[in-house]
Structure 1
Amino acid sequence: MTTTRPEATATAIPGASGLARAFSGSMFTKTLYDNRRIFTVWALATGLLAAMYGSFYPQISADSMASVPQAMEGFGLNDASSAAGYLQGAVFGLLVPLLATFYGAATGARMISADEESGYLDLLLAHPIGRTRLLLHRLAALTVGAVAIAAVVLAAMLAIRSSAELHSISPANFAAQALNLALLATMFGALATGLGAATGHSRPTVFGITAGLGVAAYALHGFAPQIGADWLRKLTPYHYYIGGQPLNNGLQIVDAAVLTGAVIIVTAAGAWRLNRRDLGR
């Protein structure tokens, strides 16, 4: 008598139907598919705003920058003598990093907290996917969204480079700043994801804590020079995002490594805690 060995069959990730089933081979691809509209809107909105403010450079004069309050000089809004100086303040120092921060906080709060709050996380983990693997797949998808934002911003800057008289900044230096932007967004996304995984707090709570920390760090980075405490800037991720002036100096390996290390640390902490706590409590 011979026995037939049953072949292993793949279990579809719950919630996948129609076209989504084609993307449900892994949690990574399903997360990308489920958040495709969110990632697209963030990328296009950030790119368009960066291009709009970047295109103002030819209209900026020394007199107009002289009217900027002294308290704002720590945000880079004190130098319009060069294209890099202007962009480092008005675009990559003021507007874009805040958008990256809120992208990370909002998207990261969706990755674990929203599923646990709705009860969907228990259903997911009833399938053959470990807690650490789930977190890493979700964070990988969030990182793709951050890279998409950086790529669109880079494309926007290169598109207006001639018309906005930004020739003094090389494409390589624009790419270095875009890389730091992706790392900044990923860092806050990892912080929100790890916080939700570690604590089980609701999505609004995780978003509020992460965004609040981001805004506080942003304010500290900007106002520290006004109180004669420049060293405090090194305690914020924004220092490693723009302190090395990538638009002037190109890629700063140490700064990029610090941001990458921060992503790894908060992700590891979140995964460690997620594997040791009772879900839904």
Structure 2
Amino acid sequence: MRATVFTKTLRDNRRSLIGWTAGTTLAAAMYASFYPQMATGGAESVQNFPEAMREAFHLDDLTSAAGYLQSSVFGLILPLLALFYGAATGARATAGDEESGTLDLLLAHPVTRTRLILQRFGALTAGACGIAAAVWIAMLGIRESADLTSISPLEFLAQCLNLALLAVAFGALAMGIGAATGRRALVFAATAGIGILTYAAHTFAGRLGAEWAAYFSPFHYYIGGEPLKHGIQWGDAGVLAAASAALVVAGTYRFNHRDLNA
């Protein structure tokens, strides 16, 4: 093939990637721009919420820019979008071709199974980084008008880096499941289900007296270190990156040893 698997994957998925980027960026900018209204009147309305809900979703710090963004934009909306981007993109990586019957044709070219997975994973990672970069630029664009100047560009960058790593982690999980099963619907459902369960573990573990459970959740490493307040958390970023690598390696091993015609 004249084009590498990496570049061909990006080219074939360019429309969906543009859609994910535009949708995620617009959602981030729109909800972040509500901060001035929330800072002036939102704190009082939050007091009407149950205490358990306020603690679980960190709603007691809505008057600060970092507190508001961590509880809503970067704490709820964007991580769920990252989860579904990773699940959808990872599910197509090999399982999509296998279900459609085009995987054998693809592997008939001089491309190994390992190269296929690694370059598809590279394209998924590039897409996640592109989405995160667009969100970062959008945050810088509205930073002054939305009264978000208490958060530095580097702190925004730190949170957006973790956003990309979160999307990559769930994409790696979806690719691993897809490589093992070859069933795209199962891959998406399993990845989304695991994502929702781990989000619940991160959010409610403390309330249930099971703080240890949060350490098994990628969302803990995504936002638990509060990058919007403390900047880049290298340890947390390293855990997300290492988990992604382990999932891809496991998926590649299974893919190389599975009979695709069974």
Tell me which residue corresponds to 1:209: 190
CA RMSD of aligned residues (A): 1.1
Say whether residues 1:86 and 2:68 are aligned partners.
Answer: yes
Q: 1:240-276 deviations in whole A, cap 9, x for unaligned?
A: 0000000000000000000000010000000001111
C-alpha displacement of 1:80? 1.1
Tell me which residue corresponds to 1:58: 36
2: CA distance, partners of 1:108 / 1:78: 36
Paired residues of 1:241 and 1:256 also in contact (CA < 8 A) = yes
Tell me which residue corresponds to 2:78: 96
Structure 1: stretches of 5+ with no match in the other structure: 1-11, 13-23
1: CA distance, partners of 2:26 / 2:197: 26
C-alpha displacement of 1:232? 1.4
Say whether residues 1:277 and 2:258 are aligned partners.
Answer: yes
Paired residues of 1:68 and 1:78 also in contact (CA < 8 A) = no
2: CA distance, partners of 1:166 / 1:95: 18
Pick aligned residue for 1:36 from 14, 21, 24: 14
Number of aligned positions between the proteins:
258
C-alpha displacement of 1:78? 2.7
Percent identity for Structure 1 against Structure 2: 59
Q: How does 1:138-149 map to 2 (within 5 A)?
A: 138-149=120-131
1: CA distance, partners of 2:103 / 2:59: 45
Paired residues of 1:76 and 1:90 also in contact (CA < 8 A) = no
CA 1:119–1:243 in 2, change beyond 3 Å: closer, same or farther?
Answer: same
C-alpha displacement of 1:199? 2.2
Pick aligned residue for 1:226 from 207, 210, 220: 207
1: CA distance, partners of 2:249 / 2:50: 41
Give 2:169's aligned amino acid. Answer: M
C-alpha displacement of 1:69? 3.4
2: CA distance, partners of 1:268 / 1:68: 44
Tell me which residue corresponds to 1:260: 241
C-alpha displacement of 1:64? 2.4
Q: 1:184-208 deviations in whole A, cap 9, x for unaligned?
A: 00010011011111222x1111100
Give 1:36's aligned amino acid. Answer: R
Give 2:238's aligned amino acid. Answer: A
The worse-fitting range, judged by mean Cα deviation, of 53-62 and 99-108 is 53-62
Tell me which residue corresponds to 1:5: none
Say whether residues 1:155 and 2:137 are aligned partners.
Answer: yes
Tell me which residue corresponds to 2:101: 119
Give 2:184's aligned amino acid. Answer: R
Q: 1:221-254 deviations in whole A, cap 9, x for unaligned?
A: 1111221222211110000000000000000000
Paired residues of 1:115 and 1:121 also in contact (CA < 8 A) = yes
2: CA distance, partners of 1:88 / 1:280: 47
Q: How does 1:183-194 map to 2 (within 5 A)?
A: 183-194=165-176
Give 2:27's aligned amino acid. Answer: L
Say whether residues 1:180 and 2:158 are aligned partners.
Answer: no
User: 2:23 aligns to what SS in structure 1?
Assistant: helix
User: 2:150 aligns to what SS in structure 1?
Assistant: coil
Paired residues of 1:78 and 1:89 also in contact (CA < 8 A) = no
C-alpha displacement of 1:152? 1.2
Paired residues of 1:173 and 1:249 also in contact (CA < 8 A) = yes
Structure (1/2) with the larger helix percentage: 2
TM-score, scaled relative to structure 1 = 0.89
Q: 1:163-213 deviations in whole A, cap 9, x for unaligned?
A: 11001000000000000000000010011011111222x111110000000
